[in-house]
Structure 1
């Protein structure tokens, strides 16, 4: 895989910026709290986002295996699908996207990420909400092989041990940021969905005594189901790092109170968080992942659970805001 990685180069602009959120910190007015942000929304690759790190490793693996097509799946407004389409274009591959229609609004179905998917040249297969996306991806790959193509299935969210490895590397990058800035982060807060980003960070930090607690704000399923996504990825990611062993499941910190009615369904707290961060810092979050994660961070800070220097990992996704125009700007 290393030769393919060298030939492809990084699909992400690294290191990403890390800076304080001083106006938001003052707005929250929680004694002893200082907020910071790691800008993985600025990785590049068709608008940026955390998947660029994962796709650098996954696409290199695809090229090493002789693939000519990337197959992946997600919701219609999937940031992962958009970045996979962009990664395929950058690598000279075709992209086949299976997109589940979680909502019915016209903007959701035709704007935002899905518009970018089409511009990037991806072939889009729309399926009903509730479709088994893993099985659908494998079925599509089987059909493509029958046509003489060589597909590579990228898991939903890029969340397998190889994808998670990129966030073990990101943990080291954040440690370098902290040393440069002279700060010790007490907690790192992120949205956790497919689980690879959180698993990679936990693996990367396992042997670092100065590591922050990694707190995942669930955006799709309750804590037990989310734990079942994250924890099994940690040991194989450690193995890819050349480290033995695992971490106890108790090290996977999760909070599922901010999902709302379901994945991708707006909540009042999410809307408030997106507007607050935009109007205090000029930073755009997204309605599905980072908006709900920031809503969680704000609530936890006000509850006194978070204190000291707290880092928010911005995993990207602002293109999805255009798919939710009616929520942010209702008619009339």
Structure 2
């Protein structure tokens, strides 16, 4: 299959490590973690894999402005601001929040990286974020710029190929490891990471189960969302792969209080995991997803999977915005 071309910014391949102590605690299972939190520093996390494809398309269209959206601590927004600065482009971030929010974590880095920022209310973000970004693009275009709009998380057809390539990377790493993973697990916040893994898993007729833990909305929402992302991606390859929404495995029940809202239980888990494995999860995505994975294993619902790979999608800068919840 011929994929679209991409930029090369991420430090790849990211390594796979066994979580020895967690695996021992859980019993008859081996948990591994793929360190996509180490794809870079300013561009760290899963978003850069998707942006390598999206921003390449922006450059091919001669765009000089990148517009995207996210929460106040959006990893994707920060990575977009960073890659724009690296390429000599401008970035405009539409963030859910207010100017009164503390300037810390990813928001602090957005400002250091020179991004233009527009804050919008949560209800506007939920209902009108795409329209708002398109309005900004029109305004910039009238001023002589050419803007490229990237959806939340770069989760669209072109962004899908970031994790299509990541799945290819995993398949090569399995050869070196000498075994195959029974399941590959990721947090699901906008759907693009799951979509890419799922697409390549089907394309290569791989036997692993792709499992997502949603950190907002619900399973039904993401099954439809991922289906639409995949339909969009087929336009780029010209090769459709048949699948059913029932094949998309989203394990609900670990959203907690809501997107980017942490419970004491989640913070305690992130803290315990850090002390156990020396790896810091983030409060928005991987903390909830790893808590979900451990919970489902302890309930016996994943007993058929003996070797599980968890994708660490990054987000360490978001921990600082939750610092007051630690050590209580």
Return the TM-score normalized by structure 1: 0.92
User: Alignment partner of 1:260: what SS?
Assistant: coil
For residue 194 of structure 2, what is the aligned residue in structure 1?
A: 198
* Residue 325 (structure 1) aligned to one of 311, 314, 323: 323
1:289-318 deviation line (CA, Å, top 9, x unaligned): 110001101101101122300110001001
Asked if 1 retains the 8 angstrom alpha-carbon contact of 2:203 and 2:241, the reply is no
For residue 29 of structure 1, what is the aligned residue in structure 2?
A: 26
- In 1, the alpha carbon distance for the partners of 2:189 and 2:325 equals 22
- In 2, the alpha carbon distance for the partners of 1:177 and 1:222 equals 32
- In 1, the alpha carbon distance for the partners of 2:123 and 2:207 equals 37
Within the alignment, does 1:127 sit opposite 2:120 as a pair?
yes
Alignment of 1:38-49 (within 5 A): 38-46=34-42, 48-49=44-45
Task: Report the alpha carbon displacement of residue 225 of structure 1 after superposing the two structures with TM.
Answer: 1.1
- In 1, the alpha carbon distance for the partners of 2:234 and 2:273 equals 35
User: Alignment partner of 2:275: what SS?
Assistant: helix
Within the alignment, does 1:158 sit opposite 2:151 as a pair?
no
| Closer, same or farther: CA 265–282 of 1 in aligned 2, 3 Å | same
Alignment of 1:59-208 (within 5 A): 59-101=55-97, 109-131=102-124, 132-208=128-204
- In 2, the alpha carbon distance for the partners of 1:232 and 1:183 equals 33
* Residue 313 (structure 1) aligned to one of 311, 314, 317: 311
Task: Report the alpha carbon displacement of residue 12 of structure 1 after superposing the two structures with TM.
Answer: 0.7
Asked if 1 retains the 8 angstrom alpha-carbon contact of 2:261 and 2:284, the reply is yes
User: Alignment partner of 1:124: what SS?
Assistant: strand
Task: Report the alpha carbon displacement of residue 283 of structure 1 after superposing the two structures with TM.
Answer: 0.7
Asked if 1 retains the 8 angstrom alpha-carbon contact of 2:184 and 2:309, the reply is yes
Return the TM-score normalized by structure 2: 0.93
- In 1, the alpha carbon distance for the partners of 2:91 and 2:80 equals 7
- In 1, the alpha carbon distance for the partners of 2:270 and 2:323 equals 13
- Is there any run of 5+ residues in structure 1 with no aligned partner, and where? none
Asked if 2 retains the 8 angstrom alpha-carbon contact of 1:290 and 1:314, the reply is yes
| Closer, same or farther: CA 44–324 of 1 in aligned 2, 3 Å | same
Within the alignment, does 1:304 sit opposite 2:300 as a pair?
yes
Task: Report the alpha carbon displacement of residue 242 of structure 1 after superposing the two structures with TM.
Answer: 5.0
Asked if 2 retains the 8 angstrom alpha-carbon contact of 1:15 and 1:173, the reply is yes
Task: Report the alpha carbon displacement of residue 223 of structure 1 after superposing the two structures with TM.
Answer: 1.1
Aligned residues: CA RMSD: 1.9
User: Alignment partner of 1:206: what SS?
Assistant: helix
Task: Report the alpha carbon displacement of residue 329 of structure 1 after superposing the two structures with TM.
Answer: 4.4
User: Alignment partner of 2:102: what SS?
Assistant: helix
Asked if 2 retains the 8 angstrom alpha-carbon contact of 1:99 and 1:124, the reply is yes
- In 2, the alpha carbon distance for the partners of 1:183 and 1:305 equals 22
User: Alignment partner of 2:123: what SS?
Assistant: coil
Asked if 1 retains the 8 angstrom alpha-carbon contact of 2:93 and 2:118, the reply is yes
For residue 227 of structure 1, what is the aligned residue in structure 2?
A: 223
- In 1, the alpha carbon distance for the partners of 2:207 and 2:113 equals 38
Asked if 2 retains the 8 angstrom alpha-carbon contact of 1:11 and 1:56, the reply is yes
Task: Report the alpha carbon displacement of residue 205 of structure 1 after superposing the two structures with TM.
Answer: 0.6
- In 1, the alpha carbon distance for the partners of 2:170 and 2:105 equals 30
Within the alignment, does 1:252 sit opposite 2:248 as a pair?
yes
Task: Report the alpha carbon displacement of residue 239 of structure 1 after superposing the two structures with TM.
Answer: 5.0
Task: Report the alpha carbon displacement of residue 220 of structure 1 after superposing the two structures with TM.
Answer: 1.0
User: Alignment partner of 2:161: what SS?
Assistant: helix
User: Alignment partner of 1:188: what SS?
Assistant: strand
Within the alignment, does 1:52 sit opposite 2:48 as a pair?
yes
